[in-house]
Structure 1
Amino acid sequence: MISSYRGDKWIGELLDGHPTRFHNMFRMSQAIFLNLLKELECVHGLHGSSRTTSREVLAMTLYILLHNESIRFTCERFQHSTETVSRYFSIGLEALVKLSCSVIKPIDPKFCDIPKNILYDNRYMPDDCIGAIDGTHVDARVLNSEKAAYIERCGFTTQNVIVAL
């Protein structure tokens, strides 16, 4: 079925329509979508504007992520400019990242222990290496009280890692 609706009206049609259509588009049921929307709005700061609802912001973000869709095709589906879709995709993605930080937590937040299955497995050790050294910045999760020491020049929390073999 092809919908003549765009944007929030299209999302409303999907929410009120057959569950399979909604699941095919967003990979979740209507109830889960609405619960996710409520959580992102109330706890993680997802918001829209007077012309773009937070429901539409979440739908655009999921549409791009789940279908690996471009901003330009998303503009066509939701009938917004590239600037609007890009801005709200960033807002939606930021809210999802905040949600992930509250849901996904390491067992050992300081990463002090190396799991035994990695420590004693030769597959994780370099083979026939005569020597190399390299450095890079990797994303880091640190305690809020220590965060200032790990902010790099672009404002991201990273750890400078140097590896010598």
Structure 2
Amino acid sequence: MAMDIIKPRDSDFRDIPEEILTDSRYMPHFKDCIGAIDGTHIPISISPEDQISYIGRKGIPTQNVMAACDFNMQFIFAVAGWEGTAHDSRIFQKTIRDPALNFPKPPKGKYYLVDAGYPQISGYLRLYKGERYHIPDFRRGRQPTGPREVFNQAHSSL
């Protein structure tokens, strides 16, 4: 399904997404951003003898699913089946290195937004570690202080 249905409309990522182009908070800072990647844990039912590697931090058997979406909130890639104990960075590294998965890699000069669980490598822009970045933290607390928190707030809001 991921190879045939879940894919970018424009595999060359030539256009600036409308959501970026029309919002002064993001343009021109994120004009080369093509989407966001994150992992999520989906509860699963699995036989008791196979559960151990699927029981992660939530205490129940889960499957760790990595997905990428564009700024139209459309999935452009998804990989499922990883046990709940698998770290996001492990899934990410295997995914971008396996040509059989057909992951839509960013062209030169473009990038995906990723959270702190992913490596900071060319084509993937991560948050500043050690700084606030969850939107609720900014809503209930003080405004961002310093350029790193300002960046993290903009990054997270995308």
Question: What is the TM-score normalised by the length of structure 2?
Answer: 0.27
TM-score (ref. length: structure 1): 0.27
The structure number with the bigger radius of gyration is 1
More helix by share: 1
Task: Say which structure, 1 or 2, has more relative contact order (CA 8 Å, 6+ apart).
Answer: 2
Higher percent of residues as strand:
2
